[in-house]
Structure 1
């Protein structure tokens, strides 16, 4: 019998080596490169709207989604993939917008509040942080044990908050954009953070230690929804995917602020401090059908990029450097969905963060 379902969410794990799809009937885990299905959980009584992996270990955080939802949307379920059973659940008074995992912390994002818990069988709340209205559940957490940095929308529009978990210190704020934030992403080391607003024409890179901008990239002149931003492992390349059906790759030249840029974000005119925004060193056309696309660098090769659409289209692109002229060619393409799946279109493309 044909199984009718739809992808509700998609995200990479902390190092990009795997990705997980929440579907209207469960979830599916894939190895990113080489592409391989690792685990598929299917239920008949509801879907998963948010699934968060913890590297490659068997524990996942799940939030219900779809109609019907497998779990109430105000609950977080910690799932043991080895035993295929629930370890424990966490209840909240409002809808859970996002969940992030570290080996020592569970971060739960509500509409205007973020709660941080210990990661054990009896989670205890350690900290809480207020944000502006955060309907997309924007939040990025560094997974490195030595750098427990978390970034999220601050109380004011366009403001980025930077918090050090467990430090007991209040969050510090960066005036990142004039409009609402739409996408934020930390580098693997947590020393850099990339941001995009709802307008989606500019990508800004900030140093999380100095709270200052170090780069500004122009994706395009027309507004776009930025669905994903990811750094490569060394932190010198950034890939950006949007609803324009394009994937851009940017080369970072600076990771620390100049003495003139100040220590606390945008202090005055961006153009005066950093000059003209730089354009990408690579632009790749995608056939996404208008659906959200996530992109990340391959863990096998920092110069290879993987792009995955919510329609199931998986593409790997490889950089070719011809005397400084970099071009991108498609190295591999496949639909990740099983032949037994028929993935329906959904009325409103969800944010895949």
Structure 2
């Protein structure tokens, strides 16, 4: 049994209950609504062929090799499937399948293997293991743009030597990479895409980190914002809110989760893009899913630990920038200290200098004042889990797990553990 993922509004869940078998379940009322079986392969059924190790674009906790990438389009009959189990050629082919008619609508071939697919009612974005993103108009499957993350990175640092850009790009692509780029697409018609981008420290231009975020307008095919160095390490997990206004990220350590404004709103303050910082825990872990609810009131995270954390986004708590002192405040503190000395004052330091020292010392302590979760779910970390926030029931959390269970939890009214209200079996 393998729990794969929920669709965008958590009305359906995709699981692999057995080898060669993938099932789609309705969440409410709970029940199987479709099944793809690869047990008997023939020429008329190749469009629906799925093999034994079925996974989704979301990286699974046991780090098995993903043989399939699957993405549903809300609760419609449209499903995108990339089959990696039939060899390199098949791994480069994306099939758009109508699950009701059990037929393939179209097939799209790519130059490299597919690692991720995201889509909404306007756009479909495909990420390849060559670090390229292909953007399609989903209404006619027309290719609108191709984004090469490495070419874009090297163009930023050098525009005078194109041959050097190409050679360095080829060299970097040939090297083993521990982290892979992540991307997330908003569910609404604005179709805001966020994806992790490479950057190099100034003191070490030959090193690369996936810790920048590009905010991209896929309707108008133009980048609209860049969030630089959102973590010290690589971005391991990413989620975007339904309306595209917020992006959540987690680093490869998995201890800190940050939420940023994407900049699509008119009142966006470019000097303060960071909205929230949360501490998941003190021990590093691998986070493989972040998820917002429909109205961006909560953010959930799932990793290879024994707890699923849910964070409050309603605005309770201090702004993450409150512990910092900007340049103007520092200059003002210095000026007032100088005035005090010119008047012959020999007592205690000025209040501004005292505040500065307090804030600076506090900021040097490693995130002890970051907000913790307001709700959590205790789990058995031996299994893999996926999480969904249903649009119809904003006070509930859906959990599907590799032990063959579908569970419904209720969020607490105060900080504490979620309450289990229903359990069903994937059969």
TM-score by length of structure 2 reads: 0.67
**Alpha-carbon separation, structure 2, partners of 1:65 and 1:279:** 39
Q: Select 2:375's aligned residue among 282, 287, 294.
A: 282
**Alpha-carbon separation, structure 1, partners of 2:69 and 2:179:** 14
Which residue matches 1:200?
254
Show structure 1 runs of 4+ deviating over 4 A: 68-71, 132-137, 257-261, 271-275
Q: What SS does the aligned partner of 1:301 have?
A: coil
**Alpha-carbon separation, structure 2, partners of 1:259 and 1:244:** 29
More strand by share: 1
Q: Select 2:93's aligned residue among 57, 75, 79.
A: 75
Which residue matches 2:286?
225
Offset at 1:162? 1.0
Count of aligned pairs between the two proteins: 318
Q: What SS does the aligned partner of 1:276 have?
A: coil
Q: What SS does the aligned partner of 2:83 have?
A: strand
Which residue matches 1:350?
none
**Alpha-carbon separation, structure 1, partners of 2:82 and 2:410:** 35
Distance 1:31 1:312, change over 3 A: same
Are positions 1:10 and 2:4 aligned together? yes
Q: Select 1:138's aligned residue among 182, 188, 197.
A: 182
- Of the structure 1 ranges 54-63 and 203-212, higher mean CA displacement relative to structure 2 is found in 203-212
- Structure 2 unmatched runs, 5+: 42-49, 55-67, 151-176, 200-208, 325-359
Q: What SS does the aligned partner of 1:72 have?
A: helix
Q: Select 2:71's aligned residue among 32, 48, 52.
A: 52
Larger Rg: 2
- Structure 1 unmatched runs, 5+: 1-5, 262-268, 339-353
Q: What SS does the aligned partner of 1:100 have?
A: strand
**Alpha-carbon separation, structure 2, partners of 1:294 and 1:69:** 28
**Alpha-carbon separation, structure 2, partners of 1:127 and 1:272:** 42
Which residue matches 2:202?
none
**Alpha-carbon separation, structure 2, partners of 1:84 and 1:320:** 41
Distance 1:173 1:312, change over 3 A: farther
Q: What SS does the aligned partner of 1:155 have?
A: strand
Offset at 1:259? 9.1
**Alpha-carbon separation, structure 1, partners of 2:15 and 2:180:** 17
Distance 1:26 1:104, change over 3 A: farther
Which residue matches 1:266?
none
Q: What SS does the aligned partner of 2:222 have?
A: coil
Q: Select 2:215's aligned residue among 162, 174, 178.
A: 162
Which residue matches 2:311?
250
- Of the structure 1 ranges 57-66 and 92-101, higher mean CA displacement relative to structure 2 is found in 57-66
Cα deviations across residues 190-248 of structure 1 (Å, max 9, x unaligned)?
A: 11111111110111001111461100011100011112111122211111111102111
Offset at 1:250? 0.8
More helix by share: 2
Distance 1:178 1:58, change over 3 A: same
RMSD between aligned alpha carbons?
3.0
Offset at 1:331? 1.0
Pairs within 5 Å for 1:320-335: 320-321=412-413, 324-335=414-425
Cα deviations across residues 89-146 of structure 1 (Å, max 9, x unaligned)?
A: 000111000111222222111121101012245x32211223366965621101211x
CA contact (8 A) 1:33 1:300 kept: no
Which residue matches 1:153?
196
